[in-house]
Amino acid sequence: NAGVTQTPKFRILKIGQSMTLQCTQDMNHNYMYWYRQDPGMGLKLIYYSVGAGITDKGEVPNGYNVSRSTTEDFPLRLELAAPSQTSVYFCASSPGTPQETQYFGPGTRLLVL
Partner 1 sequence: EDQVTQSPEALRLQEGESSSLNCSYTVSGLRGLFWYRQDPGKGPEFLFTLYSAGEEKEKERLKATLTKKESFLHITAPKPEDSATYLCAVQASTLTFGKGTMLLVSP
Binding footprint of partner 1 on the chain (CB under 8 A): 4, 33, 40-45, 48, 58-59, 90, 92, 98-99, 101-107
Q: In this complex, which beta carbon is closest to partner 1, that of residue 19 or of residue 45?
A: 45
Residue 58 C-beta: closest distance to partner 1, Å: 6
Q: Which is nearer to partner 1, 17 or 22 (CB)?
A: 22
The whole-angstrom separation of Cα 44 and Cα 39 is 12
Supply the minimum distance, in Å, between the C-beta of residue 51 and partner 1: 16
Q: How far is the CB of 90 from partner 1 (least distance, A)?
A: 5
Instruction: Select 81 or 92, whichever has its Cβ closest to partner 1.
Output: 92
CB 29, min distance to partner 1, A? 13
CB–CB of 82/61 below 8 Å?
no
Question: 54-57 and 108-112 as β-strands: parallel, antiparallel, unpaired?
Answer: unpaired
Tally of CA atoms within 13 A in the half-sphere of 74 that contains its CB: 33
Angle, CA 108 vertex, CA 77 and CA 6 arms, to 5°: 80
3-state secondary structure of 65: strand
